Amino acid sequence: MDRSFERLTLPARVESVRVFHQFVRSGAEAVGLGSADMNKLDLVLEEILVNIARYAYEGGSGDVQVAYSTEPGSLLVEVTDGGRSFNPLDSAPPDLALGLADRPIGGLGVLLVRQIVGSLSYRRQDGQNTLSFRFPGPGPIST
Amino acid sequence: MMNIEATQFEKAILLKVSGRMDAENAVEFDKACDLWISQGGKHLIADLSDLQYVSSMGLRSFLAAAQRLKSVSGSLMLCGLKGLPRQVFEMTKLDTLFRIYETAEQALATL
């Protein structure tokens, strides 16, 4: 059976994140997610979208699309951009054992996404990057 | 979306950060910290009891402020951490790098 998606496309900029939050929250409300889960979903989306806004178009500009499909009690979310080929799941995890003075500033966003949703998939197709995940996922803190 | 209220004590500045701290507004926290550090403040206490949301951009701000203060023999202490912000600090193990107290009074009492 074909899955139906709600879609929103906006410029890949940090200023678009809150609009995407509102958009996906409509779906989250429809499947009955509570406010704690909605904040976690906001966090996952923000981390993915900020990465795209900062790195996908290498100083240029472009769009990003967020799509979601509702399922009983959960959402399937896809985030697609037309920027350079980049699989955030390939990036090395930050060293969490380093002390305060040595801890690099950054690299924590992908870690948070992985911890919260547990399972993410990436595909590169027709010059586009798509990250997809189910929320709530099987992540360790998805309560 | 985010509000920062500063209170000056004899030995520290208390910054009460409430609302949502995200990629768009985390820089406001940077500016508040810069202001106090430029005025000679060494110890900052961030009261996060009314903070509902923090993303990695917010974590960068806490980390950057803590590193700046450490370089001048000062400190950034946190208090009132709970809910999603606490989980975010725990997931990134940043909770092991900060002195975290239940209340601002407890943090102040250590100085």
3-state secondary structure of A74: strand
Report residue A1's pLDDT band, with 50, 70 and 90 as the boundaries. Answer: low
Judging contacts by C-beta atoms under 8 Å, the chain A residues touching residue B75 are: none
Domain count for chain A: 1
How far, rounded to the nearest angstrom, does the alpha carbon of residue A85 sit from its chain's CA centroid?
16
pLDDT digits (tens, 9 = 90+) for B58-86: 999 999 999 999 999 999 999 999 999 99
Asked whether residue A1 is domain-assigned, the answer is no
pLDDT digits (tens, 9 = 90+) for A99-134: 888 887 778 999 999 999 988 999 999 999 999 999
Nearest in space to A107 (alpha carbons), one of A116, A122, A118, A96 = A96
Q: Do A109 and B84 touch (CB under 8 A)?
A: no
Nearest in space to A53 (alpha carbons), one of A63, A45, A43, A44 = A63
How far apart, in Å, are the Cα atoms of A138 and each of A1, A116, A117, A133, A134? 24, 8, 6, 10, 9
- Quote the domain boundaries for residue A69: 6-135
**Could you tell me how many CB contacts below 8 A there are between chain A and chain B?**
69
Amino acid, single-letter form, for residue A13: R
Q: Do A47 and B55 touch (CB under 8 A)?
A: yes
User: Domain B2-108: which topology?
Assistant: Transcription Regulator spoIIAA (3.30.750)
